[in-house]
């Protein structure tokens, strides 16, 4: 039996539906910098690690320019394209009502992460936001989760990490946190299971019940 000392959340694909925002920014950046649009199937598996690492994987020699153009376009269309997962606020209300400590651990930089949360009035639920600019290493490395636990002053092995990417699951398992797969995000059930997911939930509205179930299981 384990009692959660904190619930940590990924951002993109977990708290915010940013798939179309990300793909639109990628399409624009690759057309402008590379002169061609890369297929979505080449981009989607990279979502969940820092943007600069994604770009280095796709076109190392143009990575810096791709990041610059991507971020500029992303900022321009952000509020129009970022979407809300139905039930998110209600689920967070339940968790907060239970006295849960909530935090965000994302591979996105803190400023755009806060902007996305504020777009839907979600920032107030979280006492801590760890962005890619807060750590030297990034998911799937466990360092961001260790930093979050340290700043919250809680044991990492009593933290639950909710995320939709294999990098989230790998980071959680490497850190010793409880890995919960958010199946409403951008990756498949099988991908998350293979990456080490210990628990799963199909919608964010069922997350509070799942957490209670985990805590009550011997």
What distance separates the 2 farthest-apart alpha carbons in the chain? Answer: 57
Domain segments of the chain as ranges = 6-17+84-216, 19-81
Can 6-17+84-216 and 19-81 be said to share one CATH topology?
no
At residue 81, the pLDDT reads: 98
Q: Which of 139, 113, 130, 171 is nearest to 53 (CA)?
A: 139
At residue 46, the pLDDT reads: 94
At residue 71, the pLDDT reads: 97
Query: What is the topology classification, in CATH, of domain 6-17+84-216?
Result: Rossmann fold (3.40.50)
CB 153 within 8 A of CB 174: no
At residue 1, the pLDDT reads: 78
Interval 84-101: pLDDT, tens = 999 999 999 999 999 999
At residue 72, the pLDDT reads: 97
Question: Which residues have CB under 8 Å from 21's CB, separation 6+?
Answer: 74, 77, 78, 81, 82, 83
- Kindly list the catalytic residues: 10
Q: For helices 110-119 and 63-81, what crossing angle results, to 10°? A: 10
Instruction: Please state which of the four CATH numbers 1.10.150, 3.40.50, 1.10.3470, 2.60.40 is assigned to the domain occupying 19-81.
Output: 1.10.150
At residue 181, the pLDDT reads: 98
User: What pLDDT tens digit does each residue of the chain (218 aa) get?
Assistant: 799 999 999 999 999 999 999 999 999 999 999 999 999 999 999 999 999 999 999 999 999 999 999 999 999 999 999 999 999 999 999 999 999 999 999 999 999 999 999 999 999 999 999 999 999 999 999 999 999 999 999 999 999 999 999 999 999 999 999 999 999 999 999 999 999 999 999 999 999 999 999 999 98
Q: Which of 167, 106, 104 is nearest to 141 (CA)?
A: 167
Dihedral sign for Cα atoms in the order 123, 124, 125, 127: positive
The upper half-sphere exposure of residue 202, i.e. CA atoms within 13 Å in the direction of its Cβ, equals 0
Annotate 77-139 with DSSP letters as a single string: HHHHH-EE-TTHHHHHHHHHHTT--EEEE-SS-HHHHHHHHHHTT-GGG-SEEE-GGG-SS-T
Annotate 145-192 with DSSP letters as a single string: HHHHHHHHT--GGGEEEEESSHHHHHHHHHHT-EEEEETTSSS-HHHH
Pairing verdict, β 102-105 and 159-163: unpaired
């Amino acid at each position: 039996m384990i009692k959660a000392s904190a619930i940590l959340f990924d951002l993109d694909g977990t708290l915010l539906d940013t798939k179309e925002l990300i793909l639109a920014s990628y399409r624009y950046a690759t057309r402008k910098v590379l002169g061609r649009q890369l297929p979505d199937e080449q981009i989607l598996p990279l979502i969940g690690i820092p943007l600069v690492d994604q770009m280095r994987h796709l076109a190392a020699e143009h990575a810096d320019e791709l990041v610059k153009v991507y971020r500029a376009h992303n900022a321009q269309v952000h509020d129009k394209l970022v979407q809300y997962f139905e039930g998110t606020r209600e689920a967070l209300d339940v968790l907060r009502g239970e006295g849960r400590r909530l935090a965000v651990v994302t591979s996105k930089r803190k400023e755009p992460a806060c902007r996305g949360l504020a777009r839907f009035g979600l920032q107030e639920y979280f006492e801590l936001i760890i962005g890619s600019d807060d750590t030297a290493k990034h998911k799937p490395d466990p360092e961001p989760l260790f930093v979050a636990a340290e700043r919250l002053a809680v044991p990492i092995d009593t933290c639950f990490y909710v995320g939709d990417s294999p990098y989230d699951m790998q980071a959680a398992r490497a850190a010793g946190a409880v890995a919960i797969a958010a199946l409403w995000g951008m990756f498949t059930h099988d991908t998350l299971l293979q990456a080490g997911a210990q628990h799963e939930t199909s919608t964010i509205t069922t997350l509070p019940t799942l957490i209670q179930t985990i805590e009550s299981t011997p």
